[in-house]
Amino acid sequence: MLTEIANPKIRIEHVSYAYDGEMVLRDVTLDVPANAVTAFFGPAGGGKTTLLRLINRLNDLVDGTQMTGRISLDGQDVYALGVNIPQLRRRVGMVFALPLPLPGTIRENVLYGPRLAGERDRSRLEEIVVRSLRQAALWDEVRDRLDGPASALSGGQQQRLCIARSLALEPEVLLLDEPTSGLDPISTGKVEESLLELKQHYTIIIVPHSVQQAARVADHAAFILMGDLIEYQPGKKIFTTPRDKRTEDYVTGRFG
């Protein structure tokens, strides 16, 4: 089982997590390599979203939770005292399963993060808009309506806008939680394509919306079953030659 690699971007060590005493992750240990797409997949309610949200400390917003273990980014404990949490979240961007544009225009959505980060230079901001929307494969569709309401975009466009919004901050890590769950096959294809581009520069963790998608995009994949990390393998081996019976059952569609 691949859990320890040299120079991981993210190292998750013995992480257990509970909501109101209800354990949803049990002793999860794995390393996420840089510049690759790592997939966390498994049946619903297994704790994949929770694990993502622990990496950028988004679950700090949830009350009544208990965590043990350690998560580090470039060797630094993200839960250490004195960590600048907004700064951490700029380094570790996240895209949610349901696209939620902020009120306002497309441009305002893309620039929300950079503006909060203090970027004021107009030409820099303009560059950011163009680059992020290009990277998210949305530029051609919205270049003429950047100052139109973001809520007027289609669901698929909104999801790519949300990706662009994260990319605007040039994060080192991108957490994608079922980014294509609401999308048609064509939009899904576009998003998956842009992932191939993006992984050159970013470390990507994706919770895919199906095993098929995991198999298409993942360079490494971890199977999470009801809070337990069952199996983690480099490459696509987990889909072709799973070692664990439970993984095999899941990828061949026998349960879940």
Partner 1 sequence: MISVNSRRYVVQRIGFGVLILAALLVVLPILFVVGAIVVEGIGAINWEFLTAIPRDGMKAGGIFPAIVGTLLLTVGTALAAIPFGVGGAIYLSEYARDTWLTRAIRLAIVNLAGIPSVVYGLFGLGLFVLFLQFGTSILAGSLTLAIMTLPIIISTSEEALRAVPTEFRTVSASLGGTRWQGIRNVVLPQALPGIITGVILGLLRAGGETAPILFTVAAFYLPRLPQSPFDQTMALPYHLYVISTQVPGMPIQVQYGTALVLLALVLSLNVVATVIRSYFRRKRQW
Q: Which is nearer to partner 1, 110 or 251 (CB)?
A: 110
220 is a site residue for partner 1 (CB under 8 A)? no
Residues 196 to 255 in contact with ligand ATP, rule: CB under 6 A: none
Could you tell me which residues come within 8 angstroms of residue 212 by beta carbon, excluding any fewer than 6 positions away? none
Q: Which stretch binds ligand ATP (CB under 6 A): 45-53, 86-94, 185-193, 240-248?
A: 45-53
| Shortest distance (Å) from residue 46 CB to ligand ATP | 4
Q: Which of 11, 90, 209, 220 binds partner 1 (CB under 8 A)?
A: 90
Choose among 84, 83, 5, 79: nearest CA to 38.
Answer: 5
- Which residue from 2, 23, 24, 100 is in contact with ligand ATP, where contact means CB under 6 A? 24
Written as six digits, the tokens of 175 are: 């957490």
The reply to whether 49 sits near Mg ion by the rule CB under 5 A is yes
Identify which of residues 172 and 178 has a Cβ nearer to Mg ion in the complex.
178
CB of 101 to partner 1, least distance (A): 8
Q: Which does 24 bind (CB under 5 to 8 A by kind): ligand ATP, Mg ion, partner 1, none?
A: ligand ATP
List the structure tokens of 73.
């980014």
Q: Is 179 in the site for partner 1 (CB under 8 A)?
A: no
Which one of residues 48, 89, 209, 246 is an interface residue with partner 1 (CB under 8 A)? 89
Q: Are 173 and 10 in contact (CB under 8 A)?
A: yes
Burial of residue 177 (CB within 10 Å: 0-12, 13-18, 19+) is buried
Work out the end-to-end distance of the chain between its first and last CA atoms, rounded to an integer number of angstroms. Answer: 22
Identify whether the C-beta of residue 7 lies closer than 8 Å to the C-beta of residue 34: yes
Please classify residue 95 by burial: count the beta carbons closer than 10 Å to its beta carbon, then call 0-12 exposed, 13-18 middle and 19+ buried.
Answer: buried
* Count of positions (residues) in the chain: 256
- Closest to Mg ion by CB, 9 vs 209, is 209
> Which residues contact ligand ATP (rule: CB under 6 A)?
19, 24, 44-50, 62
